[in-house]
Amino acid sequence: MKLKLKKHWTMGRTISQKFNTAFLQDTNERNKFKIVLSNKFQAFHDLLNGEGTTVESNWKGIKEAITSTCHEVLSHKKHLHKEWITVDTLDKIQERRNKKAAINTSRTRAEKAKAQAEYTEVNKQVKKSIRTDKRKYVEDLAKTAEKAAREGNMRQLYDITKKLSGNRRKPERPVKSKEGEVIANIEEQRNRWVEHFKELLNRPAPLNPPNIEAAPTDLPINVGPPTIEEISMAIRQIKSGKAAGPDNIPAEALKADVAATARILHILFSKIWDEEQVPKDWKEGLLTKIPKKGNLSNCDNYRGITLLSIPGKVFNRVLLNRMKDCVDAQLRDQQAGFRKDRSCTDRIATLRIIVEQSIEWNSSLYINFIDYEKAFDSVDRTTL
């Protein structure tokens, strides 16, 4: 008898289950979702406009309407592996079980030898059939990946690549303390992560902050309450397939019925505009760590990603749409980062042309590359 030992990796508990937004791709399910959501919005529409309401009460009502509709119509996402084994292979596996049982119930040596030979032959057929099914499954995935690449569907391409590679990132890894000691206890590891991100995101203010003079005139930015048209456009601009925040509201739920969602969010956004306060849920986020490279027992070799509320992102998108054109006109032409139609590919092409011209004319060229460590995490927010 052979024994093979394998390490069991403990899975961390998920805070909330994801809704199966793939159902919204079906027209019937999408219409059902729109009807249920519209009925829930209509039920407390007058309450949102009533006296004595607050930002928090309005937000809780909207959140409850959307999440309850998701529970009722979409249910939760189940991680099911595709059944790539064909019915013919399953029949052969059952036949192999029968041959195995025949070996165990044999009364004489001759019967056992005959049953063993039959089992060996069927076992070969099972393994061959499984290899054929697996090969066809992989080929179908590869064809789907090629189609996704041609159509520019990067999300589907990424998901298929993960399936084909078979790499599974281990959910829990031991990390080291600041003194370099390995921490094995899960609770102590979490405390270490809290300590790490507190230090990273709360850097001391600079000793000599820059003296930035205020602009002599204000930019011509609309400061009136958000309109339904602005909210509708912002909802459409939110990317689908992104992880939800603490409220567990996916972008697909907002985009299922843009008109109804925009009308109900308009009431909330107007209240926020008047009271100059946002819901508490929008100030919270789920902080997750993404490994980069190097020794993964070192907390510095991870990138922190905060998952924020999707409705909060819609509100931020409305503000961004108002500001970006006015601000973009004030920026230098040399600035390419965080600007529309100025991709990294264009910058690389420009740099390559400069290098080629320098070689052609035999002239000196000096290039300075500066990579600020943890730049976005350690920036002084007061100065910003």
In which element (H, E) is residue 90 found? Answer: helix 87-104
Residue 291, classed as helix, strand or coil, is: strand
For residues 69 and 57, what is the distance between their CA atoms, to the nearest angstrom? 18
Kindly report the average pLDDT of the chain as a whole number.
87
Contacts 24+ apart (CB under 8 A), 218-221: 219/323, 219/326, 219/327, 219/330, 220/326, 221/322, 221/323, 221/326
- The answer to whether 134 touches 126, Cβ cutoff 8 Å, is no
- DSSP assignment of 100-156 equals HHHHHT--SHHHHHHHHHHHHHHHHHHHHHHHHHHHHHHHHHHHHHHHHHHHT-HHH
- 368 compared with 47, residue with greater pLDDT: 368
> Tens digit of pLDDT for each residue in 223-244?
999 999 999 999 999 998 889 9
Q: What is the pLDDT of residue 309?
A: 96
In this prediction, residues 326-346 reach a mean pLDDT of: 86
For residues 61 and 54, what is the distance between their CA atoms, to the nearest angstrom? 11
For residues 253 and 269, what is the distance between their CA atoms, to the nearest angstrom? 18
Q: How confident is the model at residue 123 (pLDDT cuts 50, 70, 90)?
A: very high
In this prediction, residues 276-288 reach a mean pLDDT of: 94
Rounded-to-10 torsion of CA 202, 376, 313, 333:
140
The model's pTM is: 0.76
Contacts with 62 (C-beta within 8 Å, 6 or more apart), sequence order: 48, 264, 265, 268, 311
Q: How confident is the model at residue 133 (pLDDT cuts 50, 70, 90)?
A: very high
Q: How confident is the model at residue 1 (pLDDT cuts 50, 70, 90)?
A: very low
Q: What is the pLDDT of residue 342?
A: 85
Amino acid type, 351 = L
Q: What is the pLDDT of residue 215?
A: 78
Number of continuous H segments (helices) and E segments (strands) in the chain = 13, 4
User: What is the percent of the chain where pLDDT is above 70?
Assistant: 92
Residue 76, classed as helix, strand or coil, is: strand
In which element (H, E) is residue 183 found? Answer: strand 182-183
Lowest mean pLDDT among 57-66, 130-139, 207-216: 207-216
> Tens digit of pLDDT for each residue in 162-212?
888 765 555 567 889 988 899 988 899 999 999 999 998 888 888 888 888
Q: What is the pLDDT of residue 9?
A: 47
In which element (H, E) is residue 286 found? Answer: strand 286-291
Q: Count of CB atoms within 10 A of residue 145's CB?
A: 19
> Tens digit of pLDDT for each residue in 6-52?
554 444 444 567 888 888 888 999 999 999 999 999 887 777 777 77
Q: What is the pLDDT of residue 17?
A: 77
In this prediction, residues 313-322 reach a mean pLDDT of: 96
Q: How confident is the model at residue 312 (pLDDT cuts 50, 70, 90)?
A: very high
CA 325 to chain centre: 28
- The answer to whether 323 touches 221, Cβ cutoff 8 Å, is yes
- The answer to whether 231 touches 294, Cβ cutoff 8 Å, is no
